[in-house]
């Protein structure tokens, strides 16, 4: 067998993965700028600079694109939580996250898109269920990190205590996402002061 033949499946997979990412990045920007309903498959194809027919080779509907974005954001969020060391300065990480939102960092969850998805999830059961499943997975990840943090300080958190604290952390972060949309000029000092008040009661 020609050695180059064995590389072909990998190359095809890489091209397909790159094409999917290109479509998802374009869709993400369309959704942020125009909302889910105003963004059509044709407008997403235009933004990705591909034909409308080609986009259907990868995603059979706009819902499929939204679900893929939720899946990608979930993977990124879980990777961020996994990177948290037990003794990390969590308040500093939150301040950095809000700064990334403010700067429009494409690698961070976009607050406006988060709110769009949340609203859509109340009307579309498929999207709502995907968001709920993602929330529960990240809550479990947060709970494990909280238990590790407690053990490092010589204390113990029960599963139920860790879950409640993880839920509260989710509410806190998502509330900041709302503030980032409503108050885009929110500063690092204000976020840091808020974290100094809130986090000592949540983190062991």
Same domain, 6 and 38: yes
Same domain, 54 and 78: no
Q: Which domain holds residue 156?
A: 69-204
Stretch 164-181: mean pLDDT, rounded? 95
Q: Which of 17-21, 161-165, 192-196 has the lowest mean pLDDT?
A: 17-21
Which pLDDT tens digit goes with each residue over 27-67?
999 999 999 989 999 999 999 999 988 999 999 999 999 99
pLDDT at 116: 92
Q: For residue 5, is pLDDT > 70?
A: no
Contact 66, 128 (CB under 8 A): no
Q: Is 189 exposed, middle or buried (0-12, 13-18, 19+ CB in 10 A)?
A: exposed
Band of pLDDT at residue 105, cut at 50, 70 and 90: confident
**How many domains is the chain partitioned into structurally?**
2
Contact 184, 101 (CB under 8 A): no
We report the CATH number of the domain holding residue 35 as 1.10.10.60
pTM of the model: 0.86
Q: For residue 104, is pLDDT > 70?
A: yes
Same domain, 109 and 167: yes
Same domain, 10 and 41: yes
Specify the residue for token string 């968001």. Answer: 131
pLDDT at 190: 95
């Amino acid at each position: 067998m020609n050695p180059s033949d064995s590389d072909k499946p990998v190359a095809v997979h890489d091209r397909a993965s790159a094409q999917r990412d290109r479509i998802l990045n374009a869709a993400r920007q369309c959704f942020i700028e125009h909302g889910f309903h105003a963004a059509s498959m044709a407008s997403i194809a235009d933004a990705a600079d591909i034909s409308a027919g080609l986009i259907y080779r990868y995603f059979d509907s706009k819902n499929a694109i939204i679900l893929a974005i939720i899946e990608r954001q979930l993977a990124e969020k879980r990777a961020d939580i996994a990177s948290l060391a037990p003794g990390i300065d969590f308040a500093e990480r939150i301040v950095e996250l809000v700064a990334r939102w403010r700067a429009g960092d494409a690698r961070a969850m976009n607050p406006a898109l988060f709110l769009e998805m949340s609203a859509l999830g109340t009307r579309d059961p498929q999207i709502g269920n995907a968001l709920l499943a993602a929330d529960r997975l990240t809550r479990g990840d947060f709970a494990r990190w909280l238990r590790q943090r407690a053990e490092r300080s010589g204390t113990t958190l029960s599963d139920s205590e860790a879950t409640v604290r993880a839920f509260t952390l989710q509410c806190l972060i998502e509330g900041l996402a709302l503030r980032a949309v409503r108050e885009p000029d929110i500063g690092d000092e204000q976020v840091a002061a808020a974290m100094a008040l809130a986090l000592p009661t949540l983190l062991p």
